[in-house]
Amino acid sequence: MLSGPTLYKIRKIYRLSQKDVAKITGISESMVSMIESGTRQLPDKVSIKFMEFLQLTPEKVIALLEFYQNTEVET
């Protein structure tokens, strides 16, 4: 399953807003924000919906995280 920081990174790669993630997963935008900040845990059910919508496999997630790490611009 995904973690909050992983959800954030994948959301950024796919250029999705928190509102988009909320619509995809059926949770509120504020809940997405709390999950990404670590205030709340990402429920497995929500993680599964997100992964299914984007057709993510564990291998794809690893590749996306590597891509994010290699292309992240520090501010």
Domains in the chain: ranges and CATH: 4-71 (1.10.260.40)
Pick the closest to residue 50 from 30, 69, 32 (CA basis): 32
DSSP string, 15-75: T--HHHHHHHHTS-HHHHHHHHHTSS---HHHHHHHHHHTT--HHHHHHHHHHHHHHPPP-
User: In the structure encoding, which two tokens stand for residue 61, read together?
Assistant: 């997630």
3-state secondary structure (DSSP) of residue 8:
helix
| Tens of pLDDT, residue by residue, the chain (75 residues) | 899 999 999 999 999 999 999 999 999 999 999 999 999 999 999 999 999 999 999 999 999 999 999 998 776
